[in-house]
Structure 1
Amino acid sequence: MPVHYPFSAVLGCAADSATDLDDMGLALVLTTISPEIGGVLVRGEKGTAKSTAVRGLAAVLPSISVYAGDRFSIDPDDPSAESPDGPFGPGVAVESRPVRLVELPVGATEDRVVGSLHLESALSRGAIEFEPGLLARAHRGLLYVDEVNLLHDHLVDLLLDAAAMGRVSIERDGVSIEHASRFVLIGTMNPEEGELRPQLLDRFGLTVEVAAPRDPALRAEVVRRRMAFDLDAAAFAEGFASAERELTARIVAARGLVGKVRLTEPGLLKIAEVCAAFEVDGLRADIVTARTAVAHAAWAGRSEVTRADIRRAALLALPHRRRRNPFDAPGLDEELLDRILGDDELPPDPPEGPDDPEVEPVEAAPQETSTTDEVSTSSTSDDAPSVEPGERQRAGVETNTDASEDDQPGVSTSSTSGGDGSTTAAAPAYRPRLLTVTGVGTGRTGGRSKAIGTTGRRIGADTSTHGSLHLVETLKAAAGKQSARPRTSAQVELRPEDLRTAVREGREANLVLFCVDASGSMAARKRMAQVKAAVLSLLLDAYRRRDKVGMITFRGEDAELVLPPTGSVDLAAARLDEVPAGGRTPLAEGLLEAARVLQRERLRDPDLRPLLVVVTDGRANSKAHGKEAVRRSQQAAAYVAGLGVTTVVIDSESGPMRLGLARELAGHLGAEHVPVAEVSAEALTSAVQSRTQTWKGAA
């Protein structure tokens, strides 16, 4: 058995009387003390021991009792627990085993997660038997998803159902089975690679942000420990064996105490006040905060929840529940939290008067499946402390705004409004129209373009080895060949060439590459604000559809890849904030830079189909002038068109006099031409309705 890096050897995860756990270590421990908290999401940059800490956690958890041979790990001490492998009577042996850490790969199939028909039994003996999946194996243990933000949507749906119900139901391929699946869900992710689907984010009870230490001494200690572990893992682990045993004993003691911890009425009201001040929707945040405060008190060995317990619980349970835009950074205003909690310790429960109803202390609430909770940072109470708005500004300070609201048509020059490179804030975002890649792809699951993959509606079957078994088509393929095969029994003889797998049509994620004109002709305040609003809206759409995005801007004499293709749409929005406007229009350079990026990404991931979005008014003027600049831009457009990439030109030209250069550019690119005012889905719908009414009137 491989030796894992000890949990207590991770800096910040050694808990004793002198030093307590850091946020990541504490969140992991608290959710194992009280699994009803709902799991932990660890967000942080690469190389911050996220996975190392999670894998070491299982080793410090106390063992569990199970029936011998029970693949579903039900609790022998729970008379209501039922296993598909049962029933188990008094004579069945009970054994003790370590808690399992089950890792869910982001590329796992649905059959691997929930279980499926046992193919060997079905094909060799004609028997229908169920093969348990990862959710069955994780029951009463830890389910760990590394890079959880990259998890396919169909797997996210399965996790949501299992987390909400605590059970898994399978009705497929002649199998009908149901089993318990209660686990501590732990996810780790790097925010730079994309955000997490909101529905799954809400299922995590706690969330923590981790970063590498900046203290050279601490960094050196991390390196020293890691090198010692790599040199002799067994000896290194033995050096921390005593700390691991002490941590296990403390977790066992906290589990025994958690049911006895009192959450007084003033404490419960204080939790409600904190959640109300941060305007948390629903009650899940209140419940999770209460459970976490109770678990923290038990961890500290206290029999009653204190102000410090509530503060620590709120910092872990509320940041990801704030109502915020997808591009706003998570976090909690600690100054506001301290003002709400005050400096005084919680008062005791009020005494019971002779005519007062008896007031029972509130303990950890039963598991709840309430609606999704989101939080904003403004207060609704006149008496509650005011909260600063949580939305970050989308751009810097506007300067040099002497230009008219609409720039005049003509060839861009090196000195126009905003030519000094000033930035302009984006207008409010809106729901954009859906832009898709033509054809049918085979990329990873997403929400944009049509694709053949492992999810979606079943449209046929083939002989490939990928995908789930199509049992009916397999039997049909074998049935026509039985007369030519020797009959050894009454059963249908199946051979490997008979196997058929399901072909499904769903949606895929794409690479959306923005090529944004930031020249002087775009610098008028109204035009640039409109352009940034369109790009921001498309970025929000890419965030929801789990696309990969990149951004190129061109102005002055050259084009710049301001954001290499990434899964983090947040970074793209931040780069958009910083895009200045001014200078000449090197349109050809922008298109050629886009071609280079697309060719490079095609080599990296051939299945990730690109969508090029060019945002420009179509004017060209850089080192070359006049007709030469136009000729170079047309040649560059023809080169990009030869790549066979689906392209959309968003025409930013405005004003009463328009040259129509962007429409001509779209023709050279073989692209769809979309005026910037029609990027909005509502605007497109209105235009279609207006055109339909005109046709009806003419008829």
Structure 2
Amino acid sequence: MPLQYPLSAVVAPHADRADDMTLALVLTTISPEVGGVLVRGEKGTAKSTTVRALASVLPPIEVVTGDRFSSAPGDTSPDGTWPLDAETETRPVRLVELPVGATEDRVLGSLHLSKVLADGVAEYEPGLLARAHRGILYVDEVNLLHDHLVDLLLDAAAMGRSTVERDGVSVAHAARFVLVGTMNPEEGELRPQLLDRFGLTVEIAAPRDPRLRAEVVRRRLAFDADPEAFVASYADAERALTDRIVAARKLLPEVELTDAVLTKVAEVCAAFEVDGMRADIVTTRTAVAHAAWHGRTTVTRADIRQAALLALPHRRRRNPFDAPGLDEDLLDAILGDEEPEPEPPLPPEPEGDGDSEGPGDEGLDTGPGGPTRPPSEDGPTRPPNDSDGGDQPSETEDQGLDTPPRPSGATRPPIEGEGATRPPSEGEGATRPAMESVIGAADPYKVRRFEVTGTGAGESGKRSRALTTNGRRAGIDPTGQGGLHLVETIRAAAPHQRSRGRTDGRIRFEQADLRTARREGREANLVLFCVDASGSMAARKRMEQVKTAILSLLLDAYQRRDKVGLVTFRADSAEVALPPTHSVDIAAKRLADLPAGGRTPLAEGLLTAAEVLRIERVRDPRRRPLLIVITDGRATHGPDAVTRSRRAAGWIAEQGTSAVVVDCEQGPMRLGLAGQLATQMQATHLPIAEVSAQALAGVARVA
């Protein structure tokens, strides 16, 4: 087994404060009830390296020998209740990695198919949740995981139990694990409802200090050159981390949680207007774990501050375009400069359930016998790699050396008479002509659902009809790609039992009997916006309406798990403002900065969009595209502008691309050019005022 990079050797991204990622991971292992950690960050920022290194510093666990569910003596598992004197063994904590393409059967477990067919015995085969019990379940790129699987993981993590009711199997087993998800926001966001189910969240970035970056490279090269020697050099620091985690776990039940602490946490959560009560509970648990991590039995202002910084930022998002974060100045103002005074004790309950108050209740005071190392009130406390200096950056295989690429223009197929339409390079167009303007959008609204025609077979989503691995059962799948259809398999084998010499109660199957289910559901698509940003669109009211419609369509694409892209055309060229991506956040930011002005190179815009779709068909052939052209239909740039636009529209129609033309033309004198363009593209024509779902309440689908 290859050696893992040591956790104590991971360099923190900021020299002036602690490594929030490492701290969050440690706190949730001290108190798993916190609910797991979501790590958001750009590529190359040591996300995977740090998570994998965490397992090596966790203390080993004692399990019943031979148990498939990692039960401790005295625990109850589907295999039985183990006596306290059961034979046990000690093993390291497991780090179970859940691949993005995992199926629900693999996650939850299901019927042991080979034993059913061969022996006629219905036996449950445990899934990844059972294997991760009392360990770490790690999901890399959790934002790309199917929503129903994320729901399963978060429910199991919150309840500490997994229940399976399927295929004639009824099993419930413990599933207490630390859930860790990592993601790159460039690939799209998690839904706010799912974000809230993660206990803590951390935003990380590569260090910008050249000295820290050099230290990252130095350590990584040393590890790659001689892993054994490098790991051995950090052995003492790793043992110190393990001992400190063990001590914090033992101290956790002794940490005093006073009414003053609960009131202060409630004040913080109320001030930041978070929804529900989960934020209060998670913040309180995190503050208690933070106090135990620092060897204290009382919760201080610094504990609450650090807990709020980890537990609240992602819970303030109301829609996908809200930037996560927390106003630290407001947080400090709420907490105050001094430790809060304890509130008067509440009258005791009639039964006297232990809520006794007295002179020893000093609120948030640390007290004389307490902390071995009290934290500073100016910010987060030192990270777990204190033995290593604690002020170095977060590290990875190729630590943050990449930055998101700037979008560039796509090449286009030539067309007769086409003028110079090369997209401007990064250095061109830096100064914006005076005739350009940037106009904002209003609040988005609910839009009508646009679908790609026909039945696809792409990634599971919520837009167009498709054959998927999940969904309603709609017959037999002739390709054999679906899940086993047990009833149809038995029905196919039944007529042949006598000819196969069946003499006992077991059904005899052959390969030809196997039948798979044909399931119909919804798929995610590529929604490519081709936006006219010319002078004819630059009127304030019109451009505001256009941007609001696009923002609303982006929100719809986010909810339906689509990829999105943005092509704009104005002046004398077209530009790929955003290559296809899962991140609608970036698309919304590019839209906000979209200038308008100049002539209308309609042909160039259509051909650029067609080229982007061609490249995406090669890159991701299963994801069907939907082209949304937003224009008034005018073509005013270059020789034979109208003729070239018609040819470009016809070429798109020949490719069989599903398209919608959103007509932005307004006023009493209308030319109807957008309607003609839609006819030439064999696309749906839709006035911009009818994009809203409320505009045509009786229409359910436009394709």
The equivalent of 2:100 in structure 1 is 106
| Conserved 8 A contact 1:262-1:362 | no
| Alignment partners' CA distance in 1, 2:539 and 2:147 | 41
How far 1:542 moved relative to its partner?
0.6
Work out whether 1:441 is the aligned partner of 2:456: yes
Q: Secondary structure at the match of 2:656?
A: coil
Shift in Å, 1:354 = 11
Determine helix, strand or coil for the equivalent of 1:684: coil
* SS of corresponding position for 2:80: coil
2: CA distance, partners of 1:645 / 1:85 = 55
SS at match of 2:686: strand
1:73 corresponds to which residue? 70
How far apart in 2 are the matches of 1:151 and 1:464? Answer: 25
Amino acid corresponding to residue 585 of structure 1 in structure 2: T
Where do 5+ consecutive residues of structure 2 fail to align? 364-432
**Partners of 2:315 and 2:349 in 1: how far apart?**
40
Indicate conservation of the 8 Å contact 2:61/2:93, yes or no.
yes
- The residue aligned with 1:410 is none
* Alignment partners' CA distance in 2, 1:70 and 1:55: 25
Amino acid corresponding to residue 141 of structure 2 in structure 1 = E
- Distance, in Å, in 1 between the alignment partners of 2:509 and 2:16 is 64
Worse-superposed segment, 193-202 or 462-471? 462-471
1:629 corresponds, among 624, 635, 641, to 641
Q: What is the Cα deviation at residue 163 of structure 1?
A: 2.9
Q: Deviations over 1:636-672 (max 9, x none)?
A: 0000111111000000011111111100000000000
C-alpha distance in 2, partners of 1:637/1:423? 28
Residue in structure 2 matched with residue 647 of structure 1 by the alignment? 659
* Residues paired across the two proteins, number: 625
Distance 1:13 1:348, change over 3 A: farther
Q: 1:612 and 2:624 equivalent?
A: no
AA partner of residue 84 (structure 1): P
Counterpart-to-counterpart distance in 2, 1:19 and 1:8? 17
**1:173 is aligned with what amino acid?**
D
Deviations 1:40-81 (A, max 9, x none): 0000000000011001101111111211111112232xx5x4
Where 1:208 maps in the other structure, the secondary structure is strand
C-alpha distance in 1 between matches for 2:685 and 2:196:
39
User: Which residue is equivalent to 1:94?
Assistant: 88
| 1:246-325 correspondence runs (5 A) | 246-325=240-319
Report how far residue 499 of structure 1 moved.
Answer: 1.8
Counterpart position of 1:453: 468
Q: Which whole-Å deviations, capped at 9, do the CAs of 1:134-188 have from their partners, x for residues lacking one?
A: 0111111111110000001221232233234322221222211111212111100
- Tell me what 1:190 maps to: 184
Q: 1:266-307 CA deviation, whole Å, 9 max, x = no partner?
A: 222111111111112221111111111111111111110111
Q: Over residues 587-642 of structure 1, what are the superposed CA-to-partner deviations in whole Å (9 max), with x where a residue is unaligned?
A: 00000001100000000000011000000000111012xxx211110000000111
Q: 1:92, 1:302 → 2: CA distance?
A: 36
Contact 1:13 1:25 in 2 (8 A): no
Aligned to 1:682: 694
Q: Deviations over 1:197-228 (max 9, x none)?
A: 22221111100000000111111111111122
Q: Which residue of 2 aligns with 1:47?
A: 44
Displacement after TM superposition at 1:235 (Å)? 2.0
Q: Partners in 2 of 1:439 and 1:464 — Cα distance?
A: 18
Q: How does 1:129-528 map to 2 (within 5 A)?
A: 129-348=123-342, 350=344, 358-359=356-357, 420-462=435-477, 464-487=479-502, 489-528=504-543
Cα distance in structure 2, aligned partners of 1:134 and 1:498: 30
Shift of 1:325: 2.8
Secondary structure of 1:456's match? strand
- Structure 1 CA distance for aligned equivalents of residues 667 and 27 of structure 2: 60
Q: Residues of 2 paired with 1:309 and 1:90: CA distance?
A: 38
- Hey, what does 2:53 align to over in structure 1? 56
Cα shift at 1:496: 2.3
- SS in structure 2 of the partner of residue 188 of structure 1: strand
Give the TM-score, by structure 2 length.
0.86
Alpha-carbon distance in structure 1 between the residues aligned to 2:632 and 2:238: 65
Which segments of 5 or more consecutive residues in structure 1 lack a partner in the other structure? 364-417, 689-699
CA distance in 1 between partners of 2:77 and 2:71 (Å): 6
Q: Which residue of 2 aligns with 1:694?
A: none
Residues 167-176 or 249-258, more deviating? 167-176
Q: CA RMSD in A?
A: 2.3
Deviation at 1:362, TM superposition (A): 12
* 2:34 paired residue number: 37
Quick one: which amino acid aligns to residue 359 of structure 1?
E
Q: Deviations over 1:105-126 (max 9, x none)?
A: 1110111000011122112111
Cα distance in structure 2, aligned partners of 1:265 and 1:299 = 21
Q: Tell me the alpha carbon deviations over residues 2-52 of structure 1, each in whole angstroms, 9 at most, x when there is no partner.
A: 2111111111399xxx99841000000000001111010000000000011
- Paired with 1:19 and 1:598, the residues of 2 have a C-alpha distance of 46
Q: Residues 114 and 143 (structure 1 numbering): CA distance in 2 closer, same or farther, change over 3 Å?
A: same
Cα deviation for residue 676 of structure 1 reads 0.3
Q: Distance in 1 between matches of 2:114 and 2:318?
A: 50
Letter in 2 for 1:608: R
Aligned counterparts of 1:112 and 1:305: Cα–Cα separation in 2: 41
Please say if residues 264 and 349 of structure 1, whose CA atoms lie closer than 8 Å, have aligned partners that are also in contact: no
Counterpart residue type for residue 619 of structure 2: R
Report the CA distance between 1:489 and its aligned residue. Answer: 4.5
Structure 2 residue identity aligned to 1:336: L
Q: Over residues 231-286 of structure 1, what are the superposed CA-to-partner deviations in whole Å (9 max), with x where a residue is unaligned? A: 22222211111111100000000011111111222222111111111112221111
- More relative contact order in 1 or in 2 (CA 8 Å, sep 6+)? 2
Q: Distance in 2 between matches of 1:330 and 1:285?
A: 15
Which residue identity is paired with 1:117?
L
Q: Deviations over 1:500-545 (max 9, x none)?
A: 2222111111100000000011011111110111000000001111
The structural deviation recorded for 1:344 is 0.7
Q: Distance in 2 between matches of 1:432 and 1:618?
A: 22
Provide closer, same or farther for how the CA distance between residues 355 and 646 of structure 1 changes in structure 2, counting only shifts above 3 A.
Answer: closer
Aligned 8 A contact 1:265 1:362 in 2: no
Distance 1:663 1:20 in 2: 59
CA distance in structure 2 between the aligned counterparts of 1:20 and 1:62, rounded to whole angstroms: 27
Partner in structure 2 of residue 411 of structure 1: none
How many percent identity over aligned positions? 68
Q: Aligned equivalents of 1:354 and 1:310: distance in 2?
A: 26
Amino acid corresponding to residue 96 of structure 2 in structure 1: V
| 3-state SS, counterpart of residue 568 of structure 2 | strand
Cα distance between partner residues in 2 of 1:270 and 1:87: 43
State how far apart, in whole Å, the 1-side matches of 2:686 and 2:338 are: 61
Report if the CA contact (8 A) 2:157-2:178 is conserved.
no
Mapped to 1, the partners of 2:346 and 2:689 lie a distance apart of 66
Q: Could you tell me whether the CA contact under 8 Å between 2:35 and 2:158 is conserved in 1?
A: no
1:530 to 535, 545, 562: 545
Q: Which residue of 2 aligns with 1:5?
A: 5
Question: Hey, what's the Cα distance between the residues in 1 that align with 2:362 and 2:31?
Answer: 16
Q: Distance in 1 between matches of 2:348 and 2:81?
A: 52
Q: Which amino acid is the alignment partner of residue 59 of structure 2?
A: P
1:419–1:541 CA distance, 2 compared to 1 (3 A): farther
Deviates more, 1:237-246 or 1:227-236: 227-236
| Paired residue secondary structure (1:455) | strand
CA contact (8 A) 1:7 1:244 kept: yes
Equivalent-residue separation in structure 2 for 1:163 and 1:352 (angstroms): 34
Letter of the structure 2 residue corresponding to residue 37 of structure 1: V
Alpha-carbon separation, structure 1, partners of 2:269 and 2:321: 22
